[in-house]
Amino acid sequence: MHLIYPAFLFALLTLAIPVIIHLFNFRKFQKVNFSNVQFLKEIQEQQASRRNLKERLILAARLLALFFLVLAFARPYFNTQNTNKAGRQNAVSIFVDNSYSMQALNREGALLDDAKQKAKEIASAYNINDRFQLLTQDFEGRHQRLLSRDEFNDAVDQVKISSQSRGLQQIINRQQSMLHTQQGAVKSLYIISDLQKNMASGRVKTDSSIAVSLIQLKSGKLPNVAVDSVWLLSAVHRPGESEKLVVRLHNYADEKADKIPLKVLINGAQKALGSYTIPARAVQNDTLAFMGLQAGWQQGLVQLQDNPVTFDNQFYFSFNVSRQMHVLLIDGGTPNAYLKAAFAADLFFAVQRVPDGNVDYANLGSLPMVVVSDVKAISAGLAQQLKTYVAKGGTLVVFPAADADFANYRTFLQPMNAAYPEKLISENIKVARLNKQSPVFKNVFEGFPENPDLPLVKKYYQLSAPRGQQDNLMQLSNGQVFWAGYNSGRGKVYVAAVSLNDDFSNLPRHALFVPVLFRIALLSGHDMPLFYTLGNEETLEIPQVQISEKQILTLVKGGQTTIPDVRQQEGSTLLYLSDQLHETGIYTLKKQDSTLATLAFNDNGTESDLSYLSQARLRELLPKTTALLTGGNASLKGIVAETNFGTQLWKLCIILALIFLAAEILLIRYFKPGKQVAKQPV
């Protein structure tokens, strides 16, 4: 047994007081003179030994009552592994999980309400002078301080459901960082959560100097289907054309989901409708088609009807339908008639032609496609800018000049992992094969003839072997590459083995030339993502926006306005959100009063999987010193008090003190041992 306040044992000296009173409180007899003995009716006789027994029992009761009263103030307890620092101030960090999954119900009601009640119980188990930190999924700055018990209870009452979702290691690290600032205090942290499986994938590390306790709240198993992602099959979106949206549905339940209704809304109008059956624990992709879109930014919403879990039934996306697609043609000073004629066939393409020495580098980032032709040698500055452009998602098409500088083209194309011309070969040869599995040709031909009319070649450049992945569009009969694409960063580089003139081949006049150029252009769209994920996207990259010192960019959603930190980099503008957005939905990016873009934000989806960590799995992931507390039929307050302060005996001491005080009263009033009555004749 140990004592929290052993200094109170000095009060045991007061036990001498009843003893002194007992020793010096002898009965003194007083002599009384009577004139006649007839007044003595009765004489009570009592043996001295029996009288002394009563006095000693009363003395013992007084001593024991006083002893247990003093012992109660000294706070005795039986020691446990966590109570070796009793008597010092405690610094306690309590995490209350307020993620979407805490909206589920158990016997106590919503899990969040149960978690808030348990947080208050834990705080009540500590002393009035101990200090507490409240932490939630939001990781708010105002929660990075210690509170008194009353302040803590008030803060707990204000906790609401949040879209944030953190891992178990993140939470513990955040709590420990706060507790490490409290020198000399006894440190403890608690995590009150449903502990979904997604919260911990590997072993969790904790500080051995901090006591860690987990309280898991459980709800019944609930079926749930959610939208994991969406994407459009077309890279470039044109007004009035058909669009195909692929929706990835995920059934997180252990049972099949039957006939889940789904609809797609564009700018508030319903565009597609479907009903899907998804096997248990399966992922399913479904394609929905719609059309009739006007030019401009489109606000999309995929909506499920899936009860009782509804927090993930909406998925937002946005994209831009362009009136025109801008294409930049770079040449050596003389316009290429074939390229000009090809893009003039469709008014959707807005073509700008510039010589290689007059390229506006600042505008490159906004162009989906750049075509370089008839340039003998690419300058170092242009080569670097085009490399940056491709790395950020642009599409570059290169037709070497008739008198190409091989060394220069190697320096230009090799850093982008693309093939480059090595030597000129003069021979009459024919294109022998089209790669129908290439994205450029895939799903283009309804039927393909056995002997197609393919381009004829008089001379060509032998291309080097590429270092990266190669997408052969056309191949010569001798196995040499005629036209191929190469991935570079987020973009792509297409290199042809011929110059665009009749001396090399009939490709510029061939029926395949225009369709292939158009397909490359339509696949080259590098619009901003359809959606962003809250919590994961702290930095957004958009096409370069020129702003003055007095101009600001804002993200607006309803009455909410957010001002991101804006930084310019080569070819693009970066928006730093710094965890400022907390609501899903569609946000409008504005420069003053003009709209630059429409951005969609969704939750990260981890909360949709309502599977929970078992006790056995938690034991594997957590250190052995971690306590897994469950309220059960007992009070969580009592469990926490016993875990941290041992088995407290002060209440028992108070009870025993009262019992011995009662015994003293009963002895004085009713215990009269050995009384004898002697009657004398008068």
3-state SS, 498-567, equals CCCCCCCECHHHCCCHHHHHHHHHHCCCCCCCCCEECCCCCEEEEECCCCCCCCCEEEEECCEEECCEEE
CATH architecture type of domain 90-219+611-637: 3-Layer(aba) Sandwich (3.40)
CA distance 27 to 391: 109
pTM (predicted TM-score): 0.75
Domain ranges of the chain: 2-79+649-679, 90-219+611-637, 230-319, 325-522, 532-602
22, HSE (Cβ side, Cα atoms, 13 Å): 18
**Amino acid present at 118:** K
pLDDT of 171 reads 95
70 versus 156: the higher-pLDDT residue is 156
The whole-number pLDDT of residue 87 equals 59
Helix then strand count (H, E) for the chain reads 12, 36
The model's confidence at residue 398, banded by pLDDT at 50, 70 and 90, is very high
39-53, 82-96, 288-302, 641-655: the lowest-pLDDT one: 39-53
Rounded to an integer, the average pLDDT of 427-440 is 91
Mean pLDDT of 504-514: 93
Note whether 323 and 367 are within 8 A (CB): no
For residue 525, name the pLDDT band (cuts at 50, 70, 90).
low
How many CB atoms lie under 10 A from the CB of residue 359?
A: 19
Distance separating alpha carbons of residues 672 and 665, to the nearest angstrom? 13
598 secondary structure, DSSP code: E
Alpha-carbon span 465 to 422, nearest angstrom? 10
Predicted pLDDT at 682: 45
303/283 Cα distance (integer angstroms): 17
109: confidence class by pLDDT, cuts 50, 70, 90: confident
CA–CA separation, 441 and 450 (whole Å): 16
pLDDT at 426 over 50: yes
How large is the average pLDDT for residues 353-378?
A: 91
> 105 pLDDT band (50/70/90 cuts)?
confident
- The pLDDT, as a whole number, for residue 170 is 93
Residue 25: band (very low, low, confident or very high) from pLDDT cuts 50, 70, 90: low
DSSP tag of 29: P
pLDDT confidence of residue 188: 93
Among the listed residues 93, 24, 96, the one whose alpha carbon sits nearest the alpha carbon of residue 59: 24
Q: Closest by alpha carbon to 389, among 400, 402, 398?
A: 398
Task: Find out whether 353 and 486 touch, Cβ atoms under 8 Å.
Answer: no
Which of 101, 80, 263 is CA-nearest to residue 605? 101
Assigned CATH for 532-602: 2.60.40
pLDDT at 37 exceeding the cut of 70? no
* Between 179 and 88, residue with greater pLDDT: 179
- Confidence tier at 387 by pLDDT (50, 70, 90): very high
C-alpha distances out from residue 474 to 348, 435, 471, 504, 520, Å: 26, 6, 9, 15, 14
Please tell me which residue, 411 or 105, carries the higher pLDDT value.
411
Q: What tokens appear for 424 in the block?
A: 């000129």
Pairing outcome for strands 314-321 and 572-576: unpaired
3-state secondary structure 29-51: CCCCCCCCHHHCCEEEEECHHHH
Flag whether pLDDT at 124 surpasses 50.
yes
Most confident by average pLDDT, 78-92, 395-409, 456-470: 395-409
Q: Bridge partners of 491?
A: 488
524: closest CA among 238, 236, 242, 233? 236
pLDDT at position 637: 78
Q: Which residue in 443, 495, 427 sits closest to 466, CA to CA?
A: 495
| Structure tokens, 287 | 């394609």
* 290 Cβ neighbours under 8 A, 6+ residues apart: 242, 243, 245, 264, 266, 271, 272
Q: At what angle do helices 337-344 and 513-522 cross, to 10 degrees?
A: 70
Residue 679 has pLDDT above 50, yes or no: no
pLDDT band at 249 (very low <50, low <70, confident <90, very high): very high
Contacts of 586 (CB under 8 A, 6+ apart): 299, 316, 318, 557, 598, 599, 600, 601
Distance separating alpha carbons of residues 101 and 107, to the nearest angstrom: 16
- Rounded to an integer, the average pLDDT of 415-444 is 90
Residue 247 carries which side chain, given as an amino acid letter? Answer: V
| Nearest residue to 331 (alpha-carbon basis) of 353, 351, 352, 349 | 353
Query: Which residue did the predictor score with more confidence, 598 or 83?
Result: 598
Q: What is the reported pLDDT for 30?
A: 60
Sheet holding 539-543, edge to edge: 539-543, 572-576, 565-569
Rounded distance between C-alpha atoms, residue 166 and residue 136, angstroms: 9
Q: Give the pLDDT score at 420.
A: 94
Q: Which CATH architecture has domain 230-319?
A: Sandwich (2.60)
Q: What is the pLDDT of residue 592?
A: 86
Mean pLDDT of 373-382: 94
pLDDT one-digit tens code per residue, 600-637: 999 988 889 989 999 999 999 999 888 888 755 457 87
* 355, 333 contact by CB (below 8 A): yes
Cβ 313 vs Cβ 304: under 8 Å: yes
The average pLDDT across 484-502 equals 93
232-236, 258-262, 288-292: range with lowest mean pLDDT? 232-236
Q: Which CATH number fits domain 325-522: 3.40.50.880, 2.30.110.10, 3.40.640.10, 2.120.10.30?
A: 3.40.50.880
**What whole-number distance in Å separates Cα of residue 258 and Cα of residue 278?**
7
Average pLDDT over residues 320-326: 91
Whole-angstrom Cα distance, residue 531 to residue 316?
7
Report, as an integer, the average pLDDT of 668-680. Answer: 61
Q: In the structure, what pLDDT confidence band is assigned to residue 582 with cuts at 50, 70 and 90?
A: confident
What's the residue count for the chain? 682
pLDDT at position 86, please? 54
Q: What integer is the mean pLDDT of 325-339?
A: 93
Spatial CB neighbours of 71, under 8 Å, sequence gap ≥ 6: 649, 650, 653
Most confident of 17-21, 190-194, 345-349, 675-679: 190-194
Q: What is the pLDDT of residue 48?
A: 57
Q: What does pLDDT average to over the chain?
A: 87
pLDDT band for 570, please (50, 70, 90 cuts): confident
Q: Check residue 122 and report its DSSP letter.
A: H
Confidence of residue 643 (pLDDT cuts 50, 70, 90): low
pLDDT band at 575 (very low <50, low <70, confident <90, very high): very high
CB contact at 8 A, 576 and 538: yes
Q: What is the pLDDT of residues 495-505, one digit of tens each?
A: 999 999 999 99
Q: Do domains 90-219+611-637 and 325-522 have the same CATH topology?
A: yes
Q: In whole angstroms, what is the distance from residue 55 CA to residue 23 CA?
A: 10
Q: Which of 78-82, 233-237, 616-620 has the highest mean pLDDT?
A: 616-620
- Pull the structure tokens for residue 156: 């707990």
pLDDT for 364 beyond 90: no
Amino acid 267: pLDDT: 95
The whole-number pLDDT of residue 559 equals: 87
